[in-house]
Chains A and B, each alone.
Chain A
Amino acid sequence: MDLSDTPEEEEFRARLREWLAKTLPGLPPKPSPDDWPGRRAYDLGWQRRLYDAGYADVHWDASPATRLIFLEETEKAGAPYVGANFVGLLHAGPTIAAEGTEEQRERWLPPILRGEEVWCQGFSEPDAGSDLAALRTRAWRDGDDYVVTGSKIWTSHAEVADWCELLVRTDPEAPRHRGITWLAMPMDAPGITVRPLRTLAGSAEFAEVFLDEVRVPAVNRVGDENDGWRVTLVTLSFERGTAFAGEVVACRRVLGELAVEARENGRWDDPALRRRLGRLNAEFRALWRLTQWNVSAAQASGSVPGAAGSVFKLRYSHARQELYDAAAEVLGADCLDLDRPWTLDRLSSLSYTIAAGTSQIQHSIIAERILGLPKGR
């Protein structure tokens, strides 16, 4: 067992640190969370800088350990997060890279890497939340096109996206996991209506997308017809694996800020609060170690963290909520003030145990795939 960097990793870390120190002071100010066009421009601009410096494809080509160093160092330095590029860089891009044809890779991957096109994710539907395979959006073949009708929900960045990674049902007669197809849908196609949804945090974080006989060229299909479920699983296990690693580093920073705040307002003298923060320190240290453990295993086997990613996702999403509950205790009455950043973070942390498969789904995955318990209902 070894936690130290290899010479190559050490070199990568040093080079990245130096570049961040040079680059971050020149960044424009961050747009407000509700300014989606502003956020799109800001996030694409950051991706372009990464591209020019040779870091754009760190999520795809680099070894998992190198990716972890990238997430650790950028977060420590306070660099922008992937933001609007999340789906393109961490979902659609890797999927196309793994399953797409040569033409598809050439068409879609360079604009993602260069920060020119934004992707959104058309997986969830109003009547199929965590039960993704229950999706009902239909697509049938008409000449060189698929014609798509249905609706999607919880689609982040839909308003400003150029492309949507869309799951559609192409064979309603097949068993539910078998009749699904993965399409790249241009968001400017006729028949698409985007209606923003307001979250409990007050922001228009995501949208509902209505599809009325939208024509998607058949050449935009990634993988075989009716094979979309398998194509999708490749990226979902990634989302539950290392996609949140940078956020663990951020949570550790917040914890340090909470301790400073508590000392300033006197609450640090309360042993119960102090011990609660101490316990959270243990929690986030352990989550970072678990990330390193999963990444090392993935590196050894040459695969993505499978069900082990569910262990991390489950524990992290709850820890994040506990962190902001502790923040509320530190803030006292100020925890009700929406102008305190921790208040908004506390509200948005409520989505973590729901998004990307609820905690209950993660429990079932762990029970069935790791512990070998019989499938239940």
Chain B
Amino acid sequence: MRFRLTDDQRALRDGTRQLLVRRFGGEALRGAVESPGRLDRALWRALGEAGFFALRLPEAEGGVGLGLPEAVLVFEEAGRVLLPGPLAATHLAAGVVPGAATGEAVVSAVDGGLVEWLAQADVVRGDAAGAVPMRSLDPLTPLHRVPGGAAADPAPVAVLLTAAEQLGTAARVCELAAQHARAREQFGRPVGAFQAVAHLCAGMLVRSETARAAVYAAAVTGDPVDIAAARLLADEAAVRGARDCLQVHGGMGFTWESEVHLHLKRAWVRTQRAGGVTQSEEALAAALTAGTA
């Protein structure tokens, strides 16, 4: 057993992080919030060139030929920076929908009763007939509601990639909270010196590190029950982490200018994806009685 990142995996993660900081840093994020509903096609192609969508496609088919662990690492990075767009749907369409692998095509998919980025998508997988736009809670994720779109059994890979994005959010909001707690002074000392604040931050780290172990392990085994577990832990780490991060930021955290609300809103959007929490809990309960727990 060597349950840690290989040098190649570390390099992939660091390279992805650098690419995203360059192409989707704080200013780009602000710009995207100011022009909602617009997807940066040049960035999408750049992601395609970097192999983001074709990562798991065999080399013989023009892909990168890597596996789920590598996909999880790059999706975690996407989650960290709040990268917008139907990332998982396009990734899953690589090799199936022409142009998806290279980032020439933006591919979305009907998921439960929702479709993300319908208006910007070149291809929508599933039946989106009669889709009605919503005023989306997340300024970076346009949403349509699809009538009668009952939730089918989600693909385990879609569940796992969502969990990986949640993990990215969980880790990022923990960093943001700790940074703020070290810098912001009240009553003559950094707020992080107050136990009530320090313990909130520590709780965020505990949840994100537990989720990390679960998400990475699920990527290695590919087992649907491991993936369901990873999803529950990652959802919890992202949503509670973003809320606690907002709390640590105090009044500043409740403003539009702070990026904290964007993390919370995106984390909430992801909890509705790929079968949601209920389905994962039921899958894990069923595994207990099937003797495969």
Contacts and interface: CB of A to CB of B under 8 A. Distances in A.
B105 interface: no
Interface in B258-293: 278, 280-289, 291, 293
Contacts of A275: 278, 281-282, 285
B110 interface: no
A279 B213 contact: no
Contact of A376 (B178, B192, B213): B192
A260 B221 contact: no
Contacts of B228: 282
Interface in A340-377: 360, 362-364, 366-368, 370-377
A289 B284 contact: no
A286 B199 contact: no
Contacts of A290: 209-210, 213-214
A282 B229 contact: yes
B192 A315 contact: no
B211 interface: yes
Given A1-B220, A255-B293, A364 B229 contact: no
Interface residues of A, number: 57
Nearest to B204: A371
Contact of A371 (B5, B6, B205, B214): B205
Contact of B232 (A282, A360, A364, A370): A282
A5 interface: yes
Nearest to B219: A1
A278 interface: yes
B178 A315 contact: no
A278 B281 contact: yes
Given A1-B6, A360-B199, A363-B199, A286 B288 contact: no
A293 B1 contact: no
A286 B198 contact: no
Contacts of A367: 192, 198-199, 201-202
Contacts of B287: 278, 281
Given A292-B3, A376-B192, A377-B195, A282 B221 contact: no
B190 A374 contact: yes
B228 to A, nearest CB: 7
Interface in A260-298: 260, 263, 268, 271, 274-275, 277-279, 281-283, 285-287, 289-290, 292-293, 295-297
A289 B195 contact: no
Interface in B165-190: 174, 178, 181-182, 189-190
Nearest to B291: A256
A283 B6 CA distance: 26
Contacts of B288: 255-256, 258-259, 277-278, 281
B192 A286 contact: no
Given A2-B2, A2-B220, A3-B220, A282 B182 contact: no
A256 to B, nearest CB: 5
A311 B206 contact: yes
B205 A364 contact: no
Contacts of A274: 281-282, 285
B198 A293 contact: no
Contacts of B289: 259-260, 263, 268
Given A65-B1, A290-B209, A373-B201, A1 B69 contact: yes
B65 interface: no
Contacts of B205: 311, 366, 370-371
A142 interface: no
Nearest to A263: B289
Contacts of A32: none
Contacts of A252: 293
A296 B5 CA distance: 10
Contacts of A34: none
Contacts of B226: 285
Contacts of A333: none
B25 to A, nearest CB: 23
Contacts of B210: 286-287, 290, 311, 315
Contacts of B278: 275
10 contacts: A274-B281, A274-B285, A278-B280, A285-B226, A295-B1, A314-B206, A315-B206, A363-B202, A374-B189, A375-B193
Given A1-B3, A278-B280, A363-B195, 10 more contacts: A9-B1, A256-B293, A286-B229, A286-B233, A289-B216, A290-B214, A295-B1, A367-B198, A373-B201, A375-B193
